Amino acid sequence: MRGRETAASRAKAATITTLKRDQGKEKIGHLDRQKLIDYGKMRAEQGAGPVTLGIDIGVIKMIITHAAAVHGLDISPEPVDLARVALKRLGLIGKGTERDLSP
């Protein structure tokens, strides 16, 4: 499947580009719960919907987990989990609405 770009890989690439733009100067170890909540609020103000924001937070967790597991960085994904709960309670992360794609 090399050479083919899936919708998921395009979405992940777009999320990483947005993260670099918005958080690129922030060291990964300094992303605490409150900074992640503030990031989520900012993304929502920019127009990111609940599903998009959920994807963004998921990609952040994936990056942090990879950094810890593969590169041995002393970093925990727990602040991401806590931020996700807070953003969900704020109504900023949630499931999408079912769309009718019929012609």
Per-residue pLDDT tens for 31-52?
899 999 999 999 999 999 999 8
- Rounded to whole angstroms, the Cα distance separating 72 from 16 reads 21
**Minimal CA–CA distance to 80: which of 65, 66, 95?**
65
Per-residue pLDDT tens for 59-72?
889 989 999 999 99
Question: 14: phi > 0 → left, psi -120 to 50 → alpha, else beta; which?
Answer: alpha
Q: Hey, what are 48's tokens?
A: 């990111």
Per-residue pLDDT tens for 78-102?
999 999 999 999 999 988 765 555 6
Contact present, 70 and 32 (Cβ < 8 Å):
no
